[in-house]
Structure 1
Amino acid sequence: MSNPATVIAAGGVVWRESHGSRQVLLVHRPRYDDWSLPKGKLNPREHVLVAARREIEEETGQQVILGPSLGIQRYDVRKNGGTAPKLVHYWAASLAGPEQEFEPNDEVDKLEWLPVDQAQERLSYPRDVDILNCLDAVLPVESTVVVVRHAAAVKRKEWSGKDIVRPLTDDGAATAERLSEVLAALGVNRLHSSNAERCVRTVTPYAASIGRQIHLHPEISEQGYEKDPSALETVVAKAWRPGKVTLICSHRPVLPGLAKALGLPVGKYATGAFLVAHRLADGRVIHERFGAP
């Protein structure tokens, strides 16, 4: 008999500053009569960041923006008459706007904002306390940068026009649409891109959804970078903007140099893959890499 498939879930620690101290939001689940962190299972083909935001918002009624990772829980759950491994990914989550009114439901009937020390006592599971205890190490965030390689484009050998206008494939366009949901979960509010069509179209669905302009930079196109590799410093100088979440979309040959200039790890990016980096107030930079959504 084969082993049950791993259950993947996602959630977060929703936090706020109130009267000079940090509070976190806990949920009470009547089915289990427990106090826990908001979380839930991924939908089919759902990106883990999108799932984390959706589950937090469904369980708490609060709109949030995801910040740094807080780690992964690993434990077994009952499934189909047996047990299966479960992985739960957590992120710090800040309110995206004013606190919303909560309506109790069958899944969550009560919410409570508590100071961290009281939340540690209230939580029903030690594993949730372990996640909560990671919060101080990743806050406050000073600025965030998301570096993405454009989605899949028509192959060079199949394109007779200028390379700068080579378009996305249908699959690439679908990736760009899914990426829009990911960028929304991260709260991206500044958009910078190579001026190549394949980069611009990767970012366009999200730009349209928030009504923001895409700032185009020939210096991080393949041709611009080949002509003058040092020119990308003009983009890097604008990247770490305090209080902002900045997206930079570029190309495989450019990304290693761009990452190095940003102080990020240099590595390979598949089409549509991205890296999320947070610069903390103490000067540290922490990051996560993700495949294409």
Structure 2
Amino acid sequence: MTESAVFAAGAVVWRMVGQKLHILVIHRTKYADLTLPKGKVDPGETLAETAVREVYEETGLHVVLGAPVGISKYRLPSRKQKIVHYWCAEATEAAVRESHFVPNKEVAGLEWVSVKRAKETLSYPVDREILTNFEKLIREGALQTFPIIVLRHAKALPRAEWTGTDADRPLTTRGAKQARQIVGPLRAFGVRRIVSSPAVRCLSTVEPLATELGRETHPEPLLSQDAFEAGTADVRTVIGKRVRSRKAVVLCSHRPVIPTIFREISLATGTVEGRYLRDAAELAPGAFSVVHVSATNPGSGIVSIETYESHA
């Protein structure tokens, strides 16, 4: 991020009302306009965390992020460029019931409207462009997605400085910090299951997330570096199970294993392999890639991939 730009994030929040799809638009008090929920990034936040937080602060809705739907750019009165990243996000019936929104000094009201109506009434062309991208996801049957999140373990003590078995190598102080920092962005994508190589450095990487979510970590020897080096790793079985489950999952593994994980995801989803998959697999310690897959038709190919680097 540069000092000449202001970064923000938001979402196209949608729900089904009967058989009709509606999206949420907000009436802002100060500007007397109609727009999509969004807001500026707070220090230390990822864009994904910002999107979830801003949707909640402006609408009272707890959401998790689906596939990204584009980036809008425009000039502020200060002449700085504002760059806003958007995701689609479903508002479940439970989230709608639990919302405690009341009109306030920032948001005067909320309105659920059809996509067509939103494009007619939104105040800014950049918002209407985001809805055009959103419509493309609808046409492609990719509105409902689930993420397969591939995480490389955080920074571990080098082999040369460790006298025990490789599987027992611990995280460094920096690695422990990375493990804590990934909790927020992983939660933004609604992780429901945690699967990890049984190596200590992998289990320690996902431990803060498991604690935060109150969920167990499921050790998976088939994702371990030991199994990979011994030729006994079976990534295909693991990925096939995760795709069939159609639930948000994080898979924590090792640098040598991760390219195979991506190759198996591409095979399981009928995706043509390309440079973008190899790029997504080149993860530094503590980094992860979010692979969005259609929940209604997983075999139709990967919808999108986004990568998050560690800044610890």
Q: TM-score range by the shorter chain?
A: over 0.9
Rounded Cα–Cα distance in structure 2 between residues aligned with 1:184 and 1:262: 21
| 3-state SS of 2:177 partner | helix
Q: CA deviation at 1:78?
A: 2.7
Q: Which residue of 2 aligns with 1:50?
A: 49
1:105-131 superposed Cα distances (whole Å, 9 cap, x missing partner): 111111111111111112101110110
1:243-293 superposed Cα distances (whole Å, 9 cap, x missing partner): 411111101111011111111712311111111112223513122222126
1:229-249 superposed Cα distances (whole Å, 9 cap, x missing partner): 552222112121444111111
Rounded Cα–Cα distance in structure 2 between residues aligned with 1:141 and 1:215: 26
Equivalent residues of 2:66, 2:145 under 8 A apart: no
| 3-state SS of 2:76 partner | strand
Equivalent residue in structure 2 for 1:236, among 235, 239, 261:
239
Q: How does 1:57-96 map to 2 (within 5 A)?
A: 57-79=56-78, 83-95=79-91
Greater share of helix = 2
RMSD over equivalenced CA pairs, Å: 1.7
Equivalent residues of 1:240, 1:246 under 8 A apart: no
Q: Which residue of 2 aligns with 1:146?
A: 149
User: Mean Cα displacement is larger for which, 107-116 or 240-249?
Assistant: 240-249
Q: Which residue of 2 aligns with 1:121?
A: 120
Rounded Cα–Cα distance in structure 2 between residues aligned with 1:86 and 1:214: 39
Q: Judging changes above 3 Å, is the alpha-carbon distance between structure 1 residues 252 and 132 closer, same or farther for their aligned structure 2 residues?
A: same
| 3-state SS of 2:151 partner | strand
Q: CA deviation at 1:4?
A: 5.1
Q: How does 1:11-50 map to 2 (within 5 A)?
A: 11-50=10-49
The amino acid that maps onto 2:289 is L
State yes or no: 1:288 paired with 2:306.
yes
Q: Which residue of 1 aligns with 2:224?
A: 221
Q: CA deviation at 1:142?
A: 4.5
Rounded Cα–Cα distance in structure 2 between residues aligned with 1:23 and 1:98: 15
Q: Which residue of 2 aligns with 1:107?
A: 106
Q: Gaps (5+ residues) in structure 2?
A: 267-272
Task: Give the TM-score of the pair, scaled to structure 1.
Answer: 0.93
Rounded Cα–Cα distance in structure 2 between residues aligned with 1:9 and 1:105: 21
Rounded Cα–Cα distance in structure 1 between residues aligned with 2:231 and 2:3: 53
Rounded Cα–Cα distance in structure 1 between residues aligned with 2:104 and 2:170: 46
State yes or no: 1:276 paired with 2:290.
yes
The amino acid that maps onto 2:8 is A
Q: Which residue of 1 aligns with 2:214?
A: 211
Greater share of strand = 1
Q: How does 1:140-179 map to 2 (within 5 A)?
A: 140-179=143-182
Q: Gaps (5+ residues) in structure 1?
A: none
User: Which consecutive aligned stretches of 4+ in structure 1 deviate over 2 angstroms post-superposition?
Assistant: 95-98, 136-144
| 3-state SS of 1:207 partner | helix
Q: Which residue of 1 aligns with 2:192?
A: 189
Rounded Cα–Cα distance in structure 2 between residues aligned with 1:187 and 1:151: 21
Equivalent residues of 2:63, 2:95 under 8 A apart: no
User: Mean Cα displacement is larger for which, 64-73 or 146-155?
Assistant: 146-155
- For these two proteins, the number of residue pairs brought into alignment is 288
Q: How does 1:254-269 map to 2 (within 5 A)?
A: 254-263=257-266, 265-266=277-278, 267-269=281-283
Equivalent residue in structure 2 for 1:200, among 203, 214, 231:
203
The amino acid that maps onto 1:209 is E
Rounded Cα–Cα distance in structure 2 between residues aligned with 1:174 and 1:52: 23
Rounded Cα–Cα distance in structure 2 between residues aligned with 1:249 and 1:177: 14
User: Mean Cα displacement is larger for which, 160-169 or 9-18?
Assistant: 160-169
Task: Give the TM-score of the pair, scaled to structure 2.
Answer: 0.88
Equivalent residues of 1:219, 1:228 under 8 A apart: no
